[in-house]
Amino acid sequence: MTRWREGVVQIVEPDGVVDLGPGHLDPALLPTDLLRTAYADAFDDYGPAGLTYGENQGPLPLREALARRVSSADGVPCRADQVVITAGTSTTLDLLARWAVPDADTVVADAFAYDHGMRVFTDRGLDAVRVPMDTHGMVPSALDEALDAAGSGVALVYLLPTFHNPTGLVVPVERRRELIAVARRHGVRIVEDDAYADVVLGPPPPTSVAGLAGYRDVVRLGTFSKSLAPGLRLGWLVTDAATAKGFAESAAFSSGGGLNHLAAVAVAGLLESGAYDRHVVWLREQFRLRRDALVSTLRAHLPPEFRFTTPGGGFFLWVTLPDGVTEEAAVAAAARAGAPVLPGSRFGRGANAAIRLSWSFHGPDRLTEGARRLAGALAGPGPR
């Protein structure tokens, strides 16, 4: 970690702080040796074929491996021609924002949703319409009303149904089906951001929204940023074959070829050999320890009027604040205690003030320390 420093990486934590904000993988969980070998193998196996302009939709070996994985997880057949390899979710959201609906003026999203993702849409000139959520996710009748009100200018409905960022919830199957039906009735595409699909810490989540929809009218986004390494800038999407082909015919692909070709052939080898699956098993164990350290410390030390549900996956714990504790006061107290958290308002607005905590960026001991600091800060008279 000789070069983990300002100017190289996005976040350098100040000394003495346990930052509970970022949804970043702990450096100790980034598999340097695994990826070193993957790249070396890719140079051996592909040679110049890994260094030229890649196939626009992404290299077939990776698309085939992902299609097998998606089919197996969802129990719904998926083929390689339904997959497009991307350079990660962020730039894919950007490419999708106005694609196929160039005159769109609106994106429809959960009351709380991934902050940077929403910024990608607004950067592209889309206004965000927020739809109320309950404990099962976006409320279908409210989506229906929002789509009625928005008219023809809706680019897409943005969902994060599995280990939702920031709330951690999982939308149940029945709710998924209802949301698909509502969006279909309005002729609007769903973009399913499934960044945390491989970070399963309990029972397997339900079939993806895309899978339940038979991969039609839904674009599901996956990424290796949460299960392998964000610095790869590698992700994928799955949808119906015609949509996949059409998207990969847009100019960014015809010009530059596959969006991240060398990284794609390197990671293809990890999927083909089973090394990726073994890594994910290991990673889940690490995250379970981390989540449990954070949760158990908070349960022991945080006053019970600070409420949270323990998520079955993903990176985040969503803590709603009791009456009389403002978000601003809670965030300020956490920062003063050396355990900064993110304000719920960064992600949207709901009935309760809330904060988001991440268990992804630190080991169990540091998380225990951070949770102690946070609980002390929130339990004290400071934030009231």
State which of positions 64-93 bind a second copy (CB under 8 A).
Answer: 87-91, 93
Question: Among residues 38, 31, 33, 29, which one has the least CA distance to residue 272?
Answer: 38
Our CB check for a second copy shows the closer of 89 and 239 to be 89
| DSSP H helical ranges for 124-260 | 140-150, 173-185, 209-212, 241-248, 251-256
Q: Does 152 bind a second copy (CB under 8 A)?
A: no
Q: 223 with 196: CB under 8 angstroms?
A: no
- Answer for which of 18, 19, 20, 50 binds a second copy (CB under 8 A) is 50
Footprint of a second copy on 218-277 (CB under 8 A)? 225, 229-233, 250-263, 265
Q: Does 2 bind a second copy (CB under 8 A)?
A: yes
Footprint of a second copy on 305-364 (CB under 8 A)? none
- Answer for which of 18, 20, 21, 59 binds a second copy (CB under 8 A) is 59
Our CB check for a second copy shows the closer of 163 and 361 to be 361
Q: Does 300 bind a second copy (CB under 8 A)?
A: no
Contact range with a second copy by CB under 8 A, out of 114-122, 202-210, 321-329, 348-356: 114-122
Q: Does 45 bind a second copy (CB under 8 A)?
A: yes
Q: Does 21 bind a second copy (CB under 8 A)?
A: no
Contact range with a second copy by CB under 8 A, out of 43-51, 135-143, 208-216, 301-309: 43-51
Q: Does 125 bind a second copy (CB under 8 A)?
A: yes
Our CB check for a second copy shows the closer of 82 and 320 to be 82
Question: Among residues 56, 30, 54, which one has the least CA distance to residue 42?
Answer: 54
Q: Does 168 bind a second copy (CB under 8 A)?
A: no
Whole-angstrom distance, CA of residue 208 vs CA of residue 57? 22
CB of 24 to a second copy, least distance (A): 6
Question: Among residues 342, 326, 315, which one has the least CA distance to residue 378?
Answer: 326
DSSP track, 196-235: TTT-B-SSPPPPPHHHHTTTSSEEEEEESTTTT-GGG--E
Whole-angstrom distance, CA of residue 160 vs CA of residue 108? 12
Q: Does 123 bind a second copy (CB under 8 A)?
A: yes
Give the total of residues touching a second copy (CB under 8 A).
77
CB of 261 to a second copy, least distance (A): 4
Q: Does 11 bind a second copy (CB under 8 A)?
A: yes
Question: Among residues 158, 180, 157, 154, which one has the least CA distance to residue 101?
Answer: 154
106 backbone dihedrals φ, ψ, rounded to 5°: -140, 140
Q: Does 282 bind a second copy (CB under 8 A)?
A: no
Question: Among residues 127, 159, 130, 128, which one has the least CA distance to residue 142?
Answer: 130
- Answer for which of 52, 72, 152, 352 binds a second copy (CB under 8 A) is 52
The dihedral sign for the CA sequence 328, 330, 332, 335? negative
User: Which residues are paired to 191 by β-bridges?
Assistant: 158, 219
Q: Does 105 bind a second copy (CB under 8 A)?
A: no
